[in-house]
Structure 1
Amino acid sequence: MNTSTTAPPPAGKLPGLAFMREGGTVLASFDPTRGPALADAAEGPEAIAAALADAGFSACRPKEAAIPVLAQALATGQAIAALPVADAVDGEVVITLAEDRMSAWLGIRPPQGGRPADEAAIRRALSERSVVCGLKDEVIHLAAALAETGTREALVVAEGRPAVAGEDGRFESLLPGLRSRVPQIDASGRVDYRNLGEVQTVQPGAPLMRRIHATAGVAGETVTGLAIPAKPGKEMMFAPNLDGVAVDPHDPDILTSTIVGQPVEVRGGVMVEPTHRVRAVNMATGNIIFDGSVVVEGDVQAGMTIKAGGDIEIGGTVEAVTLEAGGNIMIKGGVLGALGRPESEGGNRRISCQGSLTATFVQQAAIEAGDTILIDDVALQCQLVAGQRILVGDKKRGLLAGGAARAGLLVQAKVLGSPSHAETRIEVGVPQAVLHERASIARSREEKARQLDQLVQLLALGQKQPERLPPGFAEKAGPTRLRLLDELAELTARDQLLQRQVDLAADAKVVAASDAHEGVEIHLAGQIYRIKGERGHGGVFALDKGTLSWQFAVPGG
C-alpha cells in the first residue's frame, strides 16, 4: 500500500529542505528560493542525517548514494523535487537449514523504520523454506517477542526426528534366578562354609529359553518432512544340535529340556548337560548337590559332600568325605577316610551308592553299595557293605584286613586279614535285618488275616441277623475289607522278595585266593568260623551240608 507522509521543513537549519515518505521510501525535496542551504557540500551528510532525525526518519536506512547528491544540491542551490534518500525496512526473518535437514535455525533482524517481524511472518518464512516438521512453538513465540531488537544469535526453531534402529533379536532365559552359591547358615545360626547351595538342575519339559524376535525400528523424519527409513534389527536363530533340549512343539520360540541335568547357556541357545563337571571339590567350590551325574577331575577335600542323583566319578583321591550316588561311584584314586576318629575329624563320614563302587584302595572308610564293591589294591580297617559282592585285588595286592565286610553273595580277596592278626569280620548271606524283617512280616500277615476273617464272619452274621449289627456296618465294612486285602498283598510281595534273597544266600561264600590269616572271623547262615593259624594256597569258606567249613580247592567260575 502506497502512503505519503510529508515532514515539515526543519526550522532554520536547512531552509527549503523537506522530507516525505511514500510507501517504504523517504523522498527529499529542496526549494532553493531562499538560496543554498549549505555553505559547503562536505557538511551535507551530517546535516542531512540531523534533518532526517528531526523529521522522524532516523530509524530508516539511508541510501548511501543519494546523500552526496542531496548535499551537493543543498550547497549549490539546485532544486530537488523527489529524491529517494532513505528506506523504511521491515524486520527480517532468516531461516538456516542444516545440511542433513535435521535442524533449522531462526534469526530475526530488527526493523529499520519498518514493521517488526511478527509470528505470522516467522511461520511464512519457515513455510517458504519447507520447514514443516519438528517446529518449536515456544521458540517462535520468543523470537516474535524479540522482533524489535532482533536476536543476537540463531535459535533452533525445528528439529527432525532421527530414525530409531530396530533391536536385534535376543535370547531370554526362562530359568529362575540363579541363587548365589554362598556359604549357608544352618538351623543353629552357624555359617557352613562348605555348603554353598545346590547346583541348579532342570527336569524334562522345563522351559529354558525364549527367543525374542528383532524389531523393525521406527522411521525418522527431517524438518522438511522427508522420511528417514529405520534399520531393522538382526534376527537370532537357535543353534542346531543343542544337546539335551528341543524346540517346544507348541511354541517355536521356546527351548525346553529333554533330560535331567544342568542348564548351560551357550552361543545360540542353551544346553542341558546330564553331568556336572568340576576340577576339584573343596572349600572354594562348596558341596555339590546335583540330580544328574557328577565328574570331579581331581581330589575331594576332607569334610566335603557330594550328592548325585546319577553317578559320581572322581579322578583323584578322596579324604574323609560324604558321597551319595543314586547310581555308581568310581574313584580312580583311593579313599583315605577317618573311621574310628572323632566326629569333628570326619569319623562320621560315609560313602554310599545304589549301584556299584570301584576304587584303587580304601582305608578307614565306611562304604555301602547296593550291588558290588570292587577295590583294586587294598581295603584296610574299613566298614564295607554290599548288596551282592565285595571284590578286593582284581589287579593288585588284594588285601582285605581289619574292620568289617558284609555282602549278600560273595566276599573275595587275595589275602584275608594280615600277618599281625588284625581283627577282620566278614559276613555273607542273609543279613540279620532281613531275617528280622521276614519275622515282622509274618506277624503282620497273621494279624491282618485274623482281622479279615473276623470281618467276613460279621458280614455273614449281618446277612442272617441284620438287627445284631450297628446301622451302616455293611457299608463301612466293604472298604475296610478291600484295604486289608491290599495290605496282605503288599506284605506277601515283600516277603517273596526277601525270600529270593534268602534263596540266593544259600550259595554265599568267602574266597581267599591266596592266604587267610588268624584274626579273621567268618559269619554265614548264623554260624561263625574263626581262623586259627595261617591258611595258605587259597580256599573257600562256604556251607558244606549245612556246616560252615574251609575248602582248600578254589572252585572254578
Structure 2
Amino acid sequence: MNEEIEKTEVVNLIEVSVSDDKKQGFIKLIKQAEGSTTFTKEQLMAALQTEQIEYGIIDSAIEKLAQRPIFNIRIKVAEATDPIDGNDAVVKLLVKKDAEYKPEYNEDETVDYKSLDYFQLVKKGQVLCEITKETMGIDGTDLYGQVIPAHKGRKPQIPVGKNTSLIENDSKLIADCDGIIKFSNSINIDEMMHIRGNIDLSTGNIHFPGDVTIDGDVSSGFSVKAGGNLIIKGVVEDAKIEAVGNVVIAKGIYGGSSGDVIVGKDLRCNYIENAILHVDGDITVDYIIDGKITCNGNIYLSGAKELIVGGEIQLMGELVAKEIGNEREYPTIIRILGERIVDQAEIDRLRIKEEETRLQLQEINDKEAQINDLLLTQEKKDMLNRNRNSAAMEQIITLKKQVDRQALLIKREIEEIEKAIIYVEKKGTTSYYGSVSAKRKLYRGTRIYFGELLFQFEFDNLEHCRIYWDNDDIVNGMM
C-alpha cells in the first residue's frame, strides 16, 4: 500500500508537456518539500507513455535526467522527425530570351551594328532547355507516431511550343527543325522569318536557314542570306542577297560597289540597275540597265518597258525582250553559254582501262623492288665467295631486265590511253541551246556572242528578230 502511494506521488512530481506543433516533448520535475526526490528511467518513460508519447524519445536525455534530476525546468526529452520537402522542378534554358540579348564587343571595344544577330537561330536537334524534375519529399513523424506529410516539389512549367519536343524521359526540350526562336510563355521555332520593316541597323544582317519575308527595303551595306525562298517587298540597294531557293523582289535591285545577288532558283523583280547577279534558274524582270548577269536559265523581259541597255549578260537559255540596246549604240554585251558535248561513254571506258593499267604497273614496280633486294643480297654472297659472275646473279639480272621491259611497255600504254582521252575530249562539239529575241528592235551597239563567235550586222537595228545557233553557225531569224 505504501509503495503504491509512493508511485502515485512520484508520478505527480513529473509534468509532461508537448509543443503546439507536436514536435517536441518536455519533462519538468517537481522537487518534494521534504526529503530527497529521485526518479528512475522507467518512471520517466511511464510518464511519457501516459501522455501517449511514443516516438522520438531521446534516451540520453531521459537517462541524464534520472541520474541527475533538474527541477522546475522543462527539459526536452522527445523530438519529432521533421519532413523533408521535395525540391521544385528546375528548367535550365540553354538559349537566350529576347530581354537577355546584349551586343558583343570586338577586341577594339567597338560593336558591328550590322552583325548584331538580333534573331536567335537554332538547328534541328539542338537542346533548348534541360529539365530537372520535382522530387516527392520524405514524410516526417510527430511524437504520437502520426505522419507529418512532406510538401511535394512543384511541377515545372516546361516551355514546349511550336516545332519543339521532349526527349529522354522529358528531361530535355529540343528543336524539331532549323529555324528562329520566338519566346512567349513557351519556346517556339519558326521555319520562316518575317521581318515587318526594313533591313537596317534595327535588324542587322539576316542569315536564316529557311524562308525569309521582308516587308520593306534592304538598305545599302547590309546582307540577307536565306536557306529557302526570299521575298522582299521593297528595294534592294547596294546590298548582298543570297538565297538557295526562289527570290521575289517587288520593286527592284539597284547595285553599287559592294552589292551582289546570288539566287539558287528563279528570280522575279521589277528592274535591275548597275547590279551583279548570278542566277541558277530563270530571271523575269521588266528592264535591265548596266547589269552584270550570269544566268543558267532563261531571261524574260516582262512589263511596261521590257528593255535591256548596257552591261554584260551571260546565259544558257533564251533571252526575250522588246528592245535590246538603244539608238545611241550604247554598248550592250550578251554571251550565249555553250554546252560541251563529248563521247562520255568512251571517256569513261578509257579511264577504267587507265586505272586497270596503273594497277598492273604498281604490281610490276613491287616485283621490281623485290628483285632489287635479291640482287643486293646475291652481290653480298658473291663478294664473300669471291665469285663475281655466279649463275644465280646472272639469273637475277636476266629477270630484272624482263621486269624493266614490262614496266616500260605499261608506261607507254598509259601514255597512249591519256592521249586517247585528250583526243576524245577535243573531238567533242559545243552546242548552244540559247537564243536572243527582240520583239521590237535589236540595236547595232549590241554585241551577241556564241562562244567566241560574234554576231554582226550592218543595219542600224534589226526588228522582230531571233538570233540562235544552228549547224555550227549563228542564224538571224524572224520571231
Q: TM-score, normalised by structure 1?
A: 0.57
Aligned match of 1:368 in 260, 275, 278? Answer: 278
1: CA distance, partners of 2:10 / 2:170: 76
2: CA distance, partners of 1:231 / 1:272: 36
Aligned match of 1:403 in 287, 291, 311? Answer: 311
What SS does the corresponding residue of 2:449 show, helix, strand or coil? Answer: strand
1: CA distance, partners of 2:40 / 2:232: 85
Query: 1:195 matched to which residue of 2?
Result: 115
Query: 1:379 matched to which residue of 2?
Result: 288
Within a 5 Å distance, the mapping from 1:245-260 to structure 2 comes to none
Query: 2:401 matched to which residue of 1?
Result: 468
Task: Give the letter aligned to residue 386 of structure 1.
Answer: C
1:113 lines up with 2:113 in the alignment:
no
2: CA distance, partners of 1:141 / 1:334: 97
Query: 2:219 matched to which residue of 1?
Result: 301
Aligned match of 1:226 in 123, 141, 146? Answer: 146
Within a 5 Å distance, the mapping from 1:124-143 to structure 2 comes to 125-133=47-55
Aligned match of 2:252 in 324, 334, 338? Answer: 334
Gaps in structure 2 of 5+ consecutive residues: 369-397
1:361 offset after TM fit, Å? 2.3
Deviations 1:349-405 (A, max 9, x none): 321122222222222221101122222x3322221110122222x233223222222
Gaps in structure 1 of 5+ consecutive residues: 4-21, 25-86, 339-346
Change (3 A) 1:458 1:218: closer
1:331 offset after TM fit, Å? 2.3
1:427 lines up with 2:335 in the alignment:
yes
2: CA distance, partners of 1:469 / 1:385: 58
Within a 5 Å distance, the mapping from 1:458-537 to structure 2 comes to 466-468=399-401, 502-503=430-431, 505=432, 507-529=433-455, 535=461
Deviations 1:268-324 (A, max 9, x none): 987764434443533343333343333334332322223333333333332222222
What SS does the corresponding residue of 1:147 show, helix, strand or coil? Answer: coil
2: CA distance, partners of 1:148 / 1:307: 87
User: Do 1:411 and 1:428's aligned partners in 2 also have CA atoms closer than 8 Å?
Assistant: no
Query: 2:70 matched to which residue of 1?
Result: 147
Deviations 1:433-465 (A, max 9, x none): x77x99xxx99x9999999879879989999x7
User: Do 1:92 and 1:117's aligned partners in 2 also have CA atoms closer than 8 Å?
Assistant: no
User: Do 1:325 and 1:353's aligned partners in 2 also have CA atoms closer than 8 Å?
Assistant: yes
Change (3 A) 1:139 1:268: farther
What SS does the corresponding residue of 2:236 show, helix, strand or coil? Answer: coil
Change (3 A) 1:189 1:449: farther
Task: Give the letter aligned to residue 205 of structure 2.
Answer: N
Aligned match of 1:415 in 320, 323, 345? Answer: 323
1:223 offset after TM fit, Å? 3.3
Task: Give the letter aligned to residue 96 of structure 1.
Answer: V
Change (3 A) 1:499 1:492: same
Change (3 A) 1:139 1:520: farther
Computing the radius of gyration over CA atoms, which structure comes out larger, 1 or 2? 1
User: Do 1:89 and 1:112's aligned partners in 2 also have CA atoms closer than 8 Å?
Assistant: no
Give the superposed CA RMSD: 5.8
2: CA distance, partners of 1:23 / 1:251: 67
Task: Give the letter aligned to residue 275 of structure 1.
Answer: M
User: Do 2:166 and 2:174's aligned partners in 1 also have CA atoms closer than 8 Å?
Assistant: yes
User: Do 2:78 and 2:143's aligned partners in 1 also have CA atoms closer than 8 Å?
Assistant: no
What percentage of residue pairs aligned between the two structures are identical?
18
User: Do 1:92 and 1:109's aligned partners in 2 also have CA atoms closer than 8 Å?
Assistant: yes
1:209 offset after TM fit, Å? 7.1
**Structure with the greater relative contact order (CA < 8 A, sep ≥ 6): 1 or 2?**
2
1:149 offset after TM fit, Å? 5.4
Q: TM-score, normalised by structure 2?
A: 0.65
Task: Give the letter aligned to residue 164 of structure 1.
Answer: D
Query: 1:311 matched to which residue of 2?
Result: 229
Query: 1:103 matched to which residue of 2?
Result: 23
Query: 1:355 matched to which residue of 2?
Result: 265
What SS does the corresponding residue of 1:468 show, helix, strand or coil? Answer: helix
